[in-house]
């Protein structure tokens, strides 16, 4: 059997849409709720557009959407500024923590995949666009289900968030892993793929479980098969365009995919 350790020393996983919360529902629903509490209606597509960024950066990006900026001005009497970002972030805290806890079910195969990698001697790190307070609702529940990474890097714990590589750099520095070419980044969002590429990692995109399809596992399975294939294929194409070296459906597919990559390198 091919050992993944022949080529890689660490895997850095995203959280929502990757290891927990199939469909990355919590951050979308929380953003919709937070804006609504401030008199601004946003839909799920608008909330998903910049998913994966640090939450404050995500809110800033949403304000760059003309419809949302106009709705804010109408509701609040002025154009959105940093104070507006701060108000949304304050309104976001409670629903984000509540929904993160409610959706903290591990995606199928997540714990088994992490265990297999550890068994081969790889380190397991994670980074997220969630703040440390938001992650507090997830870490304990994930550990109860069998997944506890060696390190968690949260939004705002580095000078810049995604698509900068700084969260990955921090993980590598704290866990003593280098070079970056021996690190795998696994993410479901385009900005997370860009983060991995910018760090110089081997980057894997997840097409079915993440932000771009945006459905629970049950809702995805209930789709007409042709529609399901089309939606997953579209997500995969966007992840490849963002720079993913490899695209798979879910984290449950990671081990055979990495084994195939190591075997390909060995025969090249």
Q: Which residues are catalytic?
A: 14, 55
Counting DSSP H helices and E strands in the chain, the numbers are: 12, 6
Tokens of 97: 């923590």
- Work out the angle at residue 69's Cα, subtended by the Cα atoms of residues 71 and 60, and round it to the nearest 5 degrees: 130
Could you list the beta-strand ranges (E) of 141-201. Answer: 151-153, 183-187
Could you list the beta-strand ranges (E) of the chain. Answer: 10-13, 123-127, 151-153, 183-187, 202-206, 246-248
- C-alpha pair distances (Å), 186 with each of 67, 113, 214, 265: 32, 12, 17, 19
* Calpha distance 137→217 (Å, rounded): 21
Tokens of 233: 């294929």
Q: Considering Cα of 116, then 118, then 119, then 120, what sign does the dihedral take?
A: positive
Tokens of 208: 């079915």
Q: Considering Cα of 151, then 19, then 160, then 155, what sign does the dihedral take?
A: negative
13 and 246 Cβ atoms separated by less than 8 Å: no
Look at residue 116 and give its three-state secondary structure. helix
């Amino acid at each position: 059997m091919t050992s993944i350790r022949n080529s890689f020393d660490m895997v850095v996983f995203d959280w929502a849409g990757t290891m927990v919360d199939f469909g990355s529902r919590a951050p979308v629903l929380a953003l919709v709720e937070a804006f609504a509490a401030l008199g601004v209606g946003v839909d799920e597509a608008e909330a998903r557009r910049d998913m994966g960024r640090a939450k404050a950066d995500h809110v800033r990006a949403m304000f760059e959407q003309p419809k949302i900026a106009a709705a804010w001005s109408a509701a609040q009497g002025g154009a959105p500024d940093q104070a507006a970002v701060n108000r949304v972030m304050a309104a976001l805290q409670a629903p984000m923590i509540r929904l993160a806890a409610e959706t903290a079910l591990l995606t199928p195969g997540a714990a088994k995949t992490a265990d297999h990698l550890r068994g081969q001697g790889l380190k397991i790190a994670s980074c997220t666009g969630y703040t440390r307070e938001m992650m507090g609702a997830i870490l304990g529940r994930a550990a109860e289900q069998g997944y506890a990474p060696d390190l968690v890097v949260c939004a705002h714990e580095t000078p810049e968030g995604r698509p900068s590589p700084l969260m990955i750099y921090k993980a590598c520095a704290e866990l003593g892993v280098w070079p970056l070419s021996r690190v795998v980044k696994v993410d479901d969002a385009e900005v997370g793929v860009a983060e991995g590429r910018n760090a110089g990692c081997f980057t894997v995109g997840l097409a079915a479980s993440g932000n771009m399809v945006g459905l629970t596992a049950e809702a995805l399975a209930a789709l007409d098969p042709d529609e399901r294939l089309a939606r997953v294929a579209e997500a995969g194409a966007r992840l490849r365009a963002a720079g993913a070296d490899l695209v798979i459906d879910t984290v449950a597919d990671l081990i055979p995919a990495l084994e195939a990559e190591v075997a390909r390198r060995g025969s090249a």
